[in-house]
Amino acid sequence: MSSLLSTEQKLVQTANLKASVSVKTKPHRRKRIAENRHSDFRRSESHLLDSTLPMPILDDEDTAWKHLLHQSIETPEEVHEKWGEDIETMKTLEKEFNIRINPYYASLIKEKNDPIYLQVVPSKNELIKGCCVDDPLNEERDSPVPSITHRYPDRVLFLVAHECAVYCRFCTRKRKVSDSSKISLKYLEAGINYIREHKEIRDVVLSGGDPLTLSDRRIDYILKSLREIPHVEIIRIGTKIPCVLPQRITKKLVNIIKKYHPVYVNTHFNHPRELTPEAKQACERLADAGVPVGNQCVLLKGVNDDVETMRALMKGLLKMRVRPYYIYQADIVKGTEHFRTRVEKGLEIIQGLRGHISGLAIPHFVIDSPGGGGKIPLLPHYIEKLDNDEVVMRNFKGERYTYPQVQENPTPAVENLQTIANQNGFQIGAEIQDYF
Ligand code: SF4
């Protein structure tokens, strides 16, 4: 108990430390607040930005995460000031996709161009023109109402928040994320009504943006509304919050979530350096509240495109009670060409995981097929031959093994057994030989 308390105290201290950097209200931020009229936390906590008020006392975790968020780096000038990036390039890139790097996530950056930096700091490489497009998964085609993508019969994607705690430069949905005119709470009721009217929907995935940037009150309302729909069996929350702003996983929030089970959380860690004590506490709070937590990571060049990094990530996640679920091949999103790897790299990583770490820690490697064909799992070539009689396979060390197929009228004979034994390198006991 005492160690838990000290961890929590440390967490709030961290928030206070970051918050104490500056509470001056910056002009650009005032402008953004006015623009983001639908933002829950900005509306409710805007007093925190007023430099004429005394420094707020962050004595509770419900306030600490909001304050961290308000101290985010959000302008080309701030990026230039902190890391020396070219200001004109930053201005060009900001027009394509907003910038946000909150102080917690920024504190994980050790040096320019390291794996944390690359994920959130704009790069001139975003201007490279490749084969990438705005909406690679064709989500708009399957969107019956603005907040819903209904592709599979029994599942929907429900976009409930436009904001995130950081804006990832590789984001698949950057055409919409951070834009309150495209993902808006004004579409919330239409989305809930759509789900209510479609009785075939049994699984709802909440996404955005990041749903956990909404206020507790709003999250409670959304979960309650969905849980009241009899045919909705499962609610999933897609969120990067445990990785990028773990302070948001407050006791109050998990108490809200656990009222509406079964609720699953899919989070998004991409690198072992993101597995901090704060992140661990956030994931464990969810797990303790009975929420199964899975991880979906994206294979990103320069970030995690090697076997050692992925092994460390998957092993670390399991220790935090997070089950690795997917490694995604990077989507072909406009402005993200420089993050893409060849598909062979993902296969090599899966091969490098299998046999070397617990099967529990091995995710599926998938390509979300361009054009909206859904997720397709890819496996390294383990099968060499598959016919009516047998399957010939190679294990993780490259050694060959044979598995006999089931026959319509099996007539076991010692010769057959002997052949199989020889192929697989084991011996048949004398009793079995005698039997035949
Ligand atoms: S947190 Fe998720 S939705 Fe938000 S920018 Fe990152 S990848 Fe996109």
Q: What is the CATH number of domain 148-378?
A: 3.20.20.70
Averaged confidence pLDDT in the chain: 85
How confident is residue 137, by pLDDT bands cut at 50, 70 and 90? confident
Q: Which entry of 155, 227, 273, 394 is annotated as an active-site residue?
A: 155
Higher pLDDT, 2 or 404: 404
Who's near 175: CB < 8 A, 6+ residues apart?
134, 135, 182, 334
pLDDT at residue 132 in the model: 78
pLDDT above 60 for 18: no
pLDDT digits (tens, 9 = 90+) for 183-209: 888 889 999 999 999 999 999 999 989
Query: Hey, is 28 helix, strand or coil?
Result: helix
pLDDT at residue 84 in the model: 96
379 and 373 in contact (C-beta within 8 Å)? no
How confident is residue 431, by pLDDT bands cut at 50, 70 and 90? low
What is the per-residue burial (b if ≥16 Cβ within 10 Å, else e) of 356-385? ebeeebbbbbbbbeeebeeeeeeebeeeee
pLDDT above 90 for 128: no
Instruction: Read off the pLDDT of each residue in 15-19 and give the average, rounded to a whole number.
Output: 42
202 and 231 in contact (C-beta within 8 Å)? yes
Higher pLDDT, 237 or 186: 237
Atom in ligand 1 nearest the alpha carbon of residue 207? 3
pLDDT at residue 434 in the model: 55
93 and 122 in contact (C-beta within 8 Å)? yes
- 305 belongs to the catalytic site: no
How confident is residue 409, by pLDDT bands cut at 50, 70 and 90? low
- 283 belongs to the catalytic site: no
Q: Which residue has the tokens 């759509």?
A: 194
Q: Which entry of 251, 375, 385, 400 is annotated as an active-site residue?
A: 375
pLDDT at residue 15 in the model: 47
Cα 225–chain centre separation: 24
Query: How far apart are the C-alpha atoms of 184 and 171, rounded to whole Å?
Result: 18
Q: List the Cα angle 347/351/353 in 5-degree steps.
A: 115
pLDDT above 80 for 283: yes
Going from the Cα of 240 to the center of ligand 1, the distance in angstroms, rounded, reads 7
pLDDT above 70 for 33: no
Q: What percent of the chain has pLDDT over 90?
A: 61
**Cα R_g (the chain), whole angstroms:** 25
pLDDT at residue 432 in the model: 55
Going from the Cα of 295 to the center of ligand 1, the distance in angstroms, rounded, reads 14
Query: How far apart are the C-alpha atoms of 436 and 433, rounded to whole Å?
Result: 5
Q: Which entry of 171, 243, 283, 297 is annotated as an active-site residue?
A: 171
How confident is residue 373, by pLDDT bands cut at 50, 70 and 90? confident
How confident is residue 342, by pLDDT bands cut at 50, 70 and 90? very high
- 131 belongs to the catalytic site: no
Instruction: Read off the pLDDT of each residue in 27-43 and give the average, rounded to a whole number.
Output: 42
| Other C-beta atoms lying within 10 Å of the C-beta of residue 347 | 16
- 171 belongs to the catalytic site: yes
pLDDT at residue 59 in the model: 57
* Residue ID of nearest Cα to ligand 1 atom 6: 168
Query: How far apart are the C-alpha atoms of 424 and 298, rounded to whole Å?
Result: 37
Domain-by-domain residue ranges, the chain? Answer: 2-127, 148-378, 383-435
Q: Which residue has the tokens 């031959």?
A: 385
Q: Give the type of residue at 72.
A: S
- 389 belongs to the catalytic site: no
Paired with 400 in beta bridges are 394
421 and 429 in contact (C-beta within 8 Å)? no
How confident is residue 97, by pLDDT bands cut at 50, 70 and 90? very high
Q: Which of 152-161, 192-201, 223-232, 379-388 has the lowest mean pLDDT?
A: 379-388
Q: What is the DSSP string of 44-99?
A: HHGGGG-TTSPPP---SHHHHHHHHHHT-B-SHHHHHHHH---HHHHHHHHHHS--
